């Protein structure tokens, strides 16, 4: 290689140690031109068709006509060439040594490649996210409806139904898994409760429901689709902390004085009755002081039970005041830690399921000065998020002797685990079970744990942690890919949209820009812009764009390393796009923090000559291309006269 620096190294695969799951999740299009095998069977050629994967990193594959699903085979026999425009889900069946093309089998037809639903189905298939209904075996594990709390549960749990308790969730939410409570113990001591739906009471280990929940691992939320981890009979009914109904919960209660110090705590299973469901907007209005209590009860959140709306308002404002004090402690001590790790004392420290977050790589972080520039702040926040390594679940036994790696960097605490969302995260159920065994000292469970070797426990928890990490990543990929599908549909509907963009990287042949309106990054190549001339000034790291002819650049100029603020990857769009059923159009909605232009503000086209450097603002035209293969792309180009 030292003698031929322009060449790239090549390797030969000697053995496949473990098959990739990608083999079972191939998305592509069929090509009907005949594909003949290299050999013959019984003196005759076999009929094949091609499968062209939409992932360019995968090779072209062959499929026997005989193995096609019945509907596809019939269409093929009838000469229906439109089948070539449909996405198919397939898996690799065989890849012989020395063969360039593996043999695959079509599992199902997904639909027209340019339509939204087939594209969503393809994304789900690629990442093994189940959109199927729950199995009958899982549903048989559910309590009979309507379910009522058994008398023995009231006898063995703390009764908190006379405490002012309420939930704060999106207005449309139906799976309410956490609630808050507030009491005045004395003039200077407050009692704060966090109450989480006791899902582990219903999801019994090693049952069909437990196994399916573990396979799903997490709920996935994409536009117009909710793929729950648990059946709605649990997540929206028996376990949902709806107001006015008795519900079984796991409670953690703290006594906190007026200086923010914790003076007492209690953990255990309890029964609550929420008196009110607040939306996020309701809660924010109350905190901001703009919420007026309607004593008639005709407007505002609906109340249930003995408490009045004023009780809820006073409780929430008190909680917010305490939060501000706790935040001051966090800033003073460098962490907001209320000793949660001490509360979850485990039977075996080597078998704890925790969540750690490694410190970011220091070489990726540079000091930046942000003045009054909200777009620059948005860019730098994206850079900071990129520099952060992903938080992951882990088993403490796998990092024995490396306790310094247990910490959660993002939260600045030494020990941390998930607990508050058992309706949508399987690790939370595992933590609930462990905590229940500790707090209630269940003899049967204790005997079973003591009879098991510690290594067995480590192996089981490690397996759960690794699988849940993989499923969480898959869920994130699906959510991002689905939003990209809808964003492409929006852009195709609009044909082209204009936006200001910030230059993140600039060189002699291209520049990378951050598009403010969509919070995404794209690369623009100058050679693709007709009539544009470029002069790269290496001494200042600037670029001059013009439509007039300029003298050719020197090689040293062309090879000069580009100036860069930081590599910025494609971010998940902040847009949430929905498609009304009665109209074939896309509507984009975004949170208030989403930085986009008002309709009254038009993006002015670029005027040349123009000097460009890092962080320059330029106008771009954004549109979607492709889609015939089921994978549309968002591209940007300079917006010029």
Of 163-167, 289-293, 361-365, 531-535, minimum mean pLDDT range: 361-365
Nearest one of 509, 512, 536 to 615, comparing CA atoms: 512
Domains of the chain, residue spans: 21-112, 143-202+239-343, 495-638
302 vs 183, 297, 461, CA distance in Å? 21, 7, 43
Residue 221 has pLDDT above 80, yes or no: yes
CA dist 516 and 617 (Å) reads 10
Give the pair of three-digit tokens for residue 117.
């639903």
CA atoms within 13 A on the CB side of 335: 14
Phi, psi of 59 (to 5 degrees): -75, 160
Phi, psi of 204 (to 5 degrees): -85, 135
Nearest one of 293, 346, 141 to 230, comparing CA atoms: 141
339 vs 264, 342, 416, 566, 582, CA distance in Å? 11, 6, 10, 37, 52
Nearest one of 245, 261, 128 to 197, comparing CA atoms: 245
186 vs 191, 362, 546, CA distance in Å? 9, 47, 73
Give the pLDDT confidence score for residue 238 in this predicted structure. Answer: 93
- The arithmetic mean of pLDDT across residues 9-14, rounded, is 82
Taking every pair of Cα atoms in the chain, the longest distance, rounded to a whole number of angstroms, is: 95
CA dist 605 and 390 (Å) reads 39
Beta bridge pairs of residue 30: 51
Q: How confident is the model at residue 602 (pLDDT cuts 50, 70, 90)?
A: confident
- The arithmetic mean of pLDDT across residues 251-274, rounded, is 91
Write out pLDDT tens, residues 507-530.
888 888 988 777 788 888 888 777
DSSP string, 65-83: GGGS-HHHHHHHHTT-GGG
Hunting for tokens 């095998």 — which residue is that?
A: 37
Write out pLDDT tens, residues 140-167.
999 988 889 999 999 999 999 999 999 9
Which secondary structure element, helix H or strand E, spans residue 197, and what is its range?
strand 189-197
Give the pLDDT confidence score for residue 164 in this predicted structure. Answer: 95
Higher pLDDT, 547 or 636: 636
CA dist 181 and 166 (Å) reads 7
Instruction: Tally Cβ neighbours within 10 Å of residue 381.
Output: 11
CA dist 578 and 530 (Å) reads 36
DSSP string, 285-314: HHHHT-----TT-SSSSPB-TT--HHHHHH
Of 30-34, 339-343, 350-354, 376-380, minimum mean pLDDT range: 339-343
CA dist 65 and 233 (Å) reads 43
Give the pLDDT confidence score for residue 640 in this predicted structure. Answer: 78
Q: Which CATH number is 21-112's, of 1.10.10.10, 2.40.50.700, 3.40.190.100, 1.10.3720.10? A: 2.40.50.700
DSSP string, 568-632: -PPPPPS-EEE--TTSS--EEE--TT-----TT-PPPPB-SSEEE-TT-EEEEEEEEEE-TTS-E
Write out pLDDT tens, residues 229-239.
999 999 999 99
Give the pLDDT confidence score for residue 557 in this predicted structure. Answer: 45
- The arithmetic mean of pLDDT across residues 122-146, rounded, is 91
Write out pLDDT tens, residues 72-111.
888 888 888 888 899 999 999 988 887 888 999 999 999 9
Beta bridge pairs of residue 505: 512, 564
Write out pLDDT tens, residues 41-84.
343 445 888 999 988 889 999 998 888 888 888 888 888 888 88
The CATH class for the domain spanning 495-638 reads: mainly beta
Tell me what percent of the residues of the chain surpass a pLDDT of 70: 71
Q: How confident is the model at residue 203 (pLDDT cuts 50, 70, 90)?
A: very high
Please name the residues in contact with 302: beta carbons below 8 A apart, sequence gap of 6 or more. Answer: 243, 276, 277
Give the pLDDT confidence score for residue 370 in this predicted structure. Answer: 47
Give the pLDDT confidence score for residue 363 in this predicted structure. Answer: 38
CA dist 149 and 506 (Å) reads 65
Nearest one of 246, 469, 431, 467 to 343, comparing CA atoms: 431
Hunting for tokens 């079972």 — which residue is that?
A: 24
CA dist 382 and 384 (Å) reads 5
CA dist 65 and 209 (Å) reads 38
Give the pLDDT confidence score for residue 315 in this predicted structure. Answer: 94
Which secondary structure element, helix H or strand E, spans residue 564, and what is its range?
strand 563-564
Tell me what percent of the residues of the chain surpass a pLDDT of 90: 27
- Kindly report the pTM of this predicted structure: 0.69
Give the pLDDT confidence score for residue 396 in this predicted structure. Answer: 64
Write out pLDDT tens, residues 539-563.
787 888 887 654 444 433 444 455 5
Q: How confident is the model at residue 417 (pLDDT cuts 50, 70, 90)?
A: confident
DSSP string, 227-296: E-SS-HIIIIIISS--TTSEEEEEEEEEEEETTS-EEEEEEEEEEEE--EEEEHHHHHHHHHT-----TT
* The two domains 21-112 and 495-638 share their CATH topology (first three levels equal): yes
Cβ-count burial of 565 within 10 angstroms (0-12 exposed, 13-18 middle, 19+ buried)?
buried
Q: How confident is the model at residue 322 (pLDDT cuts 50, 70, 90)?
A: confident
Cis (ω within 30 of 0) for the bond into 609?
Answer: yes
Residue 297 has pLDDT above 80, yes or no: no
DSSP 372: S
The SS3 of residue 190 is strand
């Amino acid at each position: 290689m030292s003698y031929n620096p322009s060449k790239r190294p090549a390797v030969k695969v000697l053995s496949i140690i473990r098959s990739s799951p990608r083999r079972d999740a191939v998305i592509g299009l069929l090509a009907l031109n005949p594909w003949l095998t290299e050999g013959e069977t019984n003196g005759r050629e076999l009929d094949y068709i091609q499968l062209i994967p939409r992932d360019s990193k995968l090779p072209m594959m062959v499929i026997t006509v005989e193995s096609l699903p019945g509907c596809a085979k019939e269409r093929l026999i009838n000469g229906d060439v439109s089948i070539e425009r449909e996405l198919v889900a397939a898996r690799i069946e065989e890849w012989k040594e020395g063969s360039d093309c593996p043999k695959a089998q079509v599992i199902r037809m997904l639909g027209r490649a340019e339509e939204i639903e087939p594209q969503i189905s393809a994304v789900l298939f690629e990442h093994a996210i189940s959109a199927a209904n729950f199995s009958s075996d899982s549903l048989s594990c559910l309590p009979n409806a309507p379910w009522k709390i058994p008398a023995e549960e009231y006898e063995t749990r703390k009764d908190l139904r006379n405490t002012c308790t309420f939930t704060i969730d999106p207005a449309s939410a139906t799976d309410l898994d956490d609630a808050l409570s507030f009491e005045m113990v004395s003039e200077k001591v407050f009692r704060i409760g966090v109450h989480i739906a006791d899902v582990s009471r219903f999801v019994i280990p090693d049952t069909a429901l437990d196994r399916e929940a573990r396979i799903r691992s997490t709920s996935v939320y994409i536009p117009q689709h909710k793929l729950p981890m648990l059946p709605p009979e649990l997540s929206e009914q028996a376990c949902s902390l709806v107001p006015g109904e008795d519900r079984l919960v796991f409670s953690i209660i703290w006594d906190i004085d007026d200086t923010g110090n914790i003076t007492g705590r209690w953990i255990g299973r309890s029964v609550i009755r929420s008196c009110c469901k607040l939306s996020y907007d309701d809660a924010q209005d109350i905190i901001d002081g703009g919420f007026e209590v309607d004593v008639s009860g005709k407007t505002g959140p609906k109340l249930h039970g003995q408490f009045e709306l004023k009780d809820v308002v006073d409780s929430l404002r008190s909680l917010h005041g305490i939060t501000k004090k706790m935040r001051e402690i966090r800033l003073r001590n460098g962490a907001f830690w209320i000793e949660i790790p001490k509360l979850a004392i485990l039977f075996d420290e080597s078998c704890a399921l925790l969540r750690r977050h490694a410190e970011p790589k220091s070489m990726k972080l540079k000091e930046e000065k942000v003045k009054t520039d909200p777009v620059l702040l948005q860019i730098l926040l994206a850079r900071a998020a990129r520099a952060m390594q992903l938080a992951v679940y882990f088993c403490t036994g796998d990092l024995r002797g490396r306790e310094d790696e247990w910490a959660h960097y993002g939260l600045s605490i030494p020990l941390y685990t998930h607990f508050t969302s058992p309706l949508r995260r399987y690790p939370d159920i595992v933590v609930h079970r462990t905590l229940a065994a500790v707090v209630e000292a269940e003899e049967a469970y204790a005997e079973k744990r003591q009879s098991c070797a510690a290594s067995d426990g480590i192996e089981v928890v490690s397996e759960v942690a690794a699988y849940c990490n993989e499923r969480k990543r898959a869920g994130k990929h699906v959510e991002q890919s689905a939003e990209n599908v809808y964003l492409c549909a929006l852009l195709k509907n609009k044909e082209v949209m204009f936006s200001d963009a910030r230059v993140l990287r600039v060189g002699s042949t291209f520049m990378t820009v951050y598009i403010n309106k969509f919070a995404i990054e794209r690369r623009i190549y100058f050679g693709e812009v007709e009539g544009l001339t470029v002069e790269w000034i290496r001494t200042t790291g600037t670029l001059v764009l013009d439509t007039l002819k300029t003298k050719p650049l020197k090689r040293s100029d062309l090879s000069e390393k580009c100036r860069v603020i930081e590599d910025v990857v494609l971010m998940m769009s902040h847009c949430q796009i929905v498609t009304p059923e009665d109209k074939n159009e896309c509507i984009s909605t975004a949170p208030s923090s989403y930085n986009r232009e008002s309709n009254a503000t038009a993006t002015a086209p670029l005027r040349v000559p123009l000097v460009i450097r890092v962080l320059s603002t330029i106008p771009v035209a954004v549109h979607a291309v492709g889609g015939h293969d089921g994978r549309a792309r968002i591209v940007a180009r300079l917006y010029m006269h």
